Amino acid sequence: MTSARIRHLIPADRTPIENILRGWGNFREDEIVVAMEVLDEAIRRPEQDYHVLCAEFRGRLAGYVCFGRIPLTLHNWDLYWIAVDHRQGRLGVGTLLMEAMEGEVRRQGGRGIFIDTSSLASYAPARGLYEKNGFRVAAQFPDFYRDGDARIVYRKEVTPHVPHPQDL
């Protein structure tokens, strides 16, 4: 596993994150636009609606994860975006980001984390990452994104962090 350092988003991360998203060739232009709008909101209002953690490896941004509470739920969170620089693949950066996100969700009392993704073959590595990290398919919606591209919803139940009295 990599020795990447996990940290919070800073405004200078915007361009490297966009480059990571474009580097995969997996995301449509409209998807990248939405990802960048979400990122811009996270930069403007840190941790209001969107939480963003970044991984640095060898002095470069290696990936990021964006997540937040699901509105109108008490304890559920969404993983909105996760992307690792395609040149850093298979080094454990994605797993480190998933673990850091899960830790933050636990600290904030979260009980469930959900992920929506595509059924396309090009998303198989992402689905493998989710499954490797304990997420299981909760629902599928055929032809959701377009014909032949189902929406797959993953879910993982987590135990919220309860501080010990000596920690208070």
Task: Read off the DSSP letter of residue 111.
Answer: -
- Among 47-51, 100-104, 135-139, 141-145, which stretch is predicted with the lowest mean pLDDT? 47-51
Alpha-carbon span 73 to 62, nearest angstrom = 32
The pLDDT tens digits of the residues spanning 104-144 come to: 999 999 999 999 999 999 999 999 999 999 999 999 999 99
In the sheet that holds 149-157, the strands lie side by side as 5-8, 51-57, 60-69, 76-84, 112-118, 149-157, 136-146
pLDDT (mean) for 8-26: 94
The helix (run of H) or strand (run of E) holding residue 126 is helix 124-132
Q: Is the pLDDT of residue 38 over 90?
A: yes
pLDDT (mean) for 140-168: 87
What is the Cβ-side half-sphere exposure of residue 65, based on CA atoms within 13 angstroms?
A: 26
pLDDT-derived band at 91, boundaries 50, 70, 90: confident
pLDDT (mean) for 83-97: 85
pTM of the model: 0.91
Q: Is the pLDDT of residue 1 over 60?
A: no
